Amino acid sequence: DSGVTQTPKHLITATGQRVTLRCSPRSGDLSVYWYQQSLDQGLQFLIQYYNGEERAKGNILERFSAQQFPDLHSELNLSSLELGDSALYFCASSPQRNEQFFGPGTRLTVL
């Protein structure tokens, strides 16, 4: 158990819908990262937050957004969902510039 929690574990929704994925980092970790893992793209970095502020952006679509709250939990919002958004979404946290500890992931299926 990495100490990072993600909810929900599975999510099935329809195209055009909007969903919110939630992540709670390990106690004491200020950085939260979001990744998308799909068969064709591999593990892709989406966005990083550090202590409530956006720190780095990767291949995140404009339809996706994220935020980190004062209690350090983070949410990833995915809107206008397309079939191609079906993937495993991971959240990770780290004590600054060190190894990242990943949550169990949320498997999103868009039908």
Q: Minimal distance in Å, beta carbon 86 to another protein?
A: 14
Which is nearer to another protein, 79 or 107 (by Cβ)?
107
Q: Minimal distance in Å, beta carbon 16 to another protein?
A: 27
Q: Minimal distance in Å, beta carbon 64 to another protein?
A: 17
Binding site for another protein (CB under 8 A): 2, 33, 42-43, 45, 48, 55-56, 58, 88, 90, 92, 97-105, 107
Which is nearer to another protein, 72 or 94 (by Cβ)?
94
Cα 84 from Cα 67, distance rounded (Å): 23
Which is nearer to another protein, 52 or 104 (by Cβ)?
104
CA of 84: how far to CAs of 24, 103, 106, in Å? 26, 22, 15
- Which structure tokens are listed for 43? 């593990």
Main-chain phi, psi angles of 88, to 5 degrees: -100, 125
Q: Minimal distance in Å, beta carbon 23 to another protein?
A: 13
Which is nearer to another protein, 30 or 88 (by Cβ)?
88
